[in-house]
Amino acid sequence: MELFEERGGLTRSLAFLEDRLFRCSPFDSLRGSLIQSPSERGFSVRSQPVLFVFLIVIAVMVAVPCVPSLLLGAAPGITLRDSVYTLPEILVEAERFSDLQALRNSPGFVAIIPMDDASRRVTSAAEYLGQAVGCHVRSTGSYGAYSTASIRGSSAKQVRVYIDGVPLHQAETGVMDLADLPLASVERIEVYRGFGPFDLSGSSIGGVINVVTESPGKHDRGHVSLSLGSLFTRRLQGSYAFGATGWNILALGSALSSEGDYDFLDTNGTPYNPTDDAMVARINNQIKEYEALLKVSGPLAEGILVASNQFYYRRQGLPGYSTVQSETERLTKTYDLLHLGWRRTFDHALAWELNLGVHGLYQINHFEDRRPKKAGVKPDEKNRTVSYGAVGRLQLPLPRIRQALRGMVSLSREGFRPEETFLETVRGEEQIRRTFAVSLEDEIHLVHDRLRLIPSGRYERYTDRMTPFKEVRADLATYFRGMTETELTHSLSTGTISLVANPGKGFTVKADYGRHHRVPAMMELFGYRGSVLPNPGLQPEVGLNRDVGVGWEKASSSGTRVALECVYFWSDVDQLIMFVYVPFAQASQAINIDSADIEGYEVSLSLGSWRGFTLSGNLTSLRALNTGPVSYLNGKHLPNRPGLEAFGRLRWAGRGISAFYEFSYIGGNYWNPYNTRAPNNSGPLFDIRRFHNVGATVPAGIGGTDFTLEVRNLADERFEDIMGYPLPGRSVYGTVAVDF
């Protein structure tokens, strides 16, 4: 009551604040500073990104007419009275955000790729990721070929990949092969651009890909599909979900095989002489793939337990470079992922939520060359990776002070042991990485929840250990002499600050600023027998990321929804690791030598549904330049980063029938860091890619049965993502699916 004793003074103070804040006094100063020259101001937008982002958000907030009244707690034109009234307590109840709503409401920018039609199309996770804004995918061939992802101009090593929050990123090489990702069991794929969520177990410069598998659900349902198509491709999928005594169970299986013998243009190793070019078939490109998932969820200890086991097996030929194809090399990959998670919301005054999880992953990669072992023949390799870990996540809402705290603690261990067979089998040195990570995020609600300030911090500790080398080349003994019982530790702290503004009228403004890193892979640190020299002095790559964007969404009473998002991003990446060739050792070595300046913008559009039509598309413009100290690389474009990339999809559905058209565009990009002419004599750039896909689904006349026909690469264009590894031309697939 003492606070309101000077009620008249309070009213005058508020009026004074209103005059000072909203009648342009500080904004006159701001306007004056903005029209000054950079030298007069003493800073630039690029040099003061935090202030720049803050000013943008505040400007948008002030531009909305209703914001001043919200700040003052009264509508315009209403005078504050001198009386104080005590109102009864009002209880407001609202439905909990769904997972998708929570993702869209979170800081940072995330692309969500639904897998609604995946069971009716013969495609891969890599191809779906290539449709996401800001994400560029490179592939060495057809289905199952080695593929990697780059987000906002990052390298593949700067992108972390997870399945249901469990890390798949291998510490040995640092690169995740997207062909290893399952698809039959996937519900959606989340692509976090530039800034990953705080509750995943590692920092990332480029971004994060999180694959979310199907949930068992509460209703019995089943699905079976059979697909046939080009390259003698066959696929059979089946799933069934049911509930029993409060527990929900999902069982899923998939099997695929393909010959992969598509035609391509062989230059015979003479790109400047077209007279000996010929269309030949890709050989030794067969693939067999099997996938299974068992997932169970149910009540346990007043919470929910989710247990899943994912099995994956792929055996394929490795045709190699286009002009010198291999007939004998094969690769077999197998992994089994076990994940147990438990969550509970405690019904106390704060309603805090606890999530606990443990996981284990066992993986074998087996390379074999079936030629007799002699000089010039590669040895067979069998590399085993075993990893396991635990994670705890806590969410603590604090409504009285309009904040929400979230924290994460994780521990993991990953062990890698290679094995080579030439004339005899030799087991390699064991390499172990132990990781400890803890993160904390605070969500602060301001201006009647129209502005949220979200700072977060993370601490990570990596401890890498390698047992002594048993056998090395004699001429490299000096390099490996000090590597016995080697143990390295990297302790890193990173942080991010985000602003999310909801000024109204369907607009959302987001801005993020943060520093991230990539710890060197163990192969970069410890080398690999005789082909890669060790460099234990390597430092982590460091990236300073910023972005700011505006989103607008509007839904009509008729069900039509329009969503538009525009984002500008820029990053400075230092201490980039690259491999250099050491001539006298005839081996390569990783060193910190490069840096890069990356900037671009992303535009996403979604429209639907209007008279059965839905339209979605995105565009990414990118400029990535080398700013390192090497004179012949400085100022050059980073390779394999297209300057322009776009994707569009038009779909119509009605009366049980649906049809779609997809268009993919990838602009020319440099094939090497020197920006020199490519061996295919087409200049320094890869050719521009334009892909067209069409398809339709019609009911078969039997309950729950439909037929889908899809044509990929309709114009039969022939391209390469990686020099010497051609992509397939036109392909046709048909799928019969039954839902019950």
The pLDDT tens digits for 414-467 are: 999 888 888 888 887 788 999 999 999 999 999 988 999 999 999 999 999 887
- Least Cα distance to 156 among 599, 722, 546 occurs for 722
Q: How many Cβ atoms sit within 10 Å of the Cβ of residue 245? A: 6
Residue-level pLDDT at 106: 85
pLDDT digits (tens, 9 = 90+) for 622-639: 999 999 999 999 999 999
Residue-level pLDDT at 226: 97
Amino acid identity of residue 70, one-letter, is L
Q: How many residues does the chain have?
A: 740
Give percent of the chain above pLDDT 70: 83
Rg (CA), the chain: 28
pLDDT band at 303 (very low <50, low <70, confident <90, very high): very high
Averaged pLDDT for residues 80-91 = 49
Q: Quick check: 254 pLDDT over 50?
A: yes
Joined tokens for residue 70: 């919200």
Amino acid identity of residue 294, one-letter, is L
Reply yes or no: is the peptide bond before residue 257 cis, omega within 30 of 0: no
pLDDT digits (tens, 9 = 90+) for 53-70: 444 544 444 444 343 333
- Least Cα distance to 395 among 344, 449, 462 occurs for 344
d(CA 681, CA 46): 39
Residue-level pLDDT at 530: 65
Q: Which three-class secondary structure state does DSSP give residue 115? A: coil
Q: Quick check: 391 pLDDT over 60?
A: yes
Most confident of 84-88, 291-295, 669-673: 291-295
Joined tokens for residue 231: 């390259």
Tokens 């106390």 sit on residue: 348
- Better pLDDT: 483 or 595: 595
pLDDT band at 98 (very low <50, low <70, confident <90, very high): low
Residue-level pLDDT at 738: 95
SS (H, E, C) 620-639: EEEEEEECCCCCCCCCCECC
- Least Cα distance to 513 among 127, 146, 49, 89 occurs for 49
For the chain, the farthest-separated pair of C-alpha atoms sits apart, in whole angstroms, at: 97
Joined tokens for residue 625: 């330049």
d(CA 419, CA 531): 15
Residue-level pLDDT at 480: 53
d(CA 1, CA 83): 12
Q: Quick check: 35 pLDDT over 50?
A: no
d(CA 314, CA 184): 14
CA distances from 280 to 274, 680, 718, 720, 726 (A): 15, 17, 13, 15, 11
Q: Which of 75-84, 535-544, 592-601 has the lowest mean pLDDT?
A: 75-84
Q: Quick check: 340 pLDDT over 70?
A: yes
Residue-level pLDDT at 147: 95
Strand residues in 627-687 grouped as ranges (E): 644-654, 657-666
d(CA 329, CA 368): 6
pLDDT band at 529 (very low <50, low <70, confident <90, very high): low
- What pTM, to 2 d.p., does this model score? 0.85
Residue-level pLDDT at 54: 46
Residue-level pLDDT at 28: 41
Residue-level pLDDT at 574: 96
Q: How far is CA 308 from the centre of its chain?
A: 22
Residue-level pLDDT at 43: 38
- Better pLDDT: 479 or 226: 226
d(CA 685, CA 688): 8
Give, to the nearest 10 degrees, the angle between helix 7-22 and helix 25-35. Answer: 20
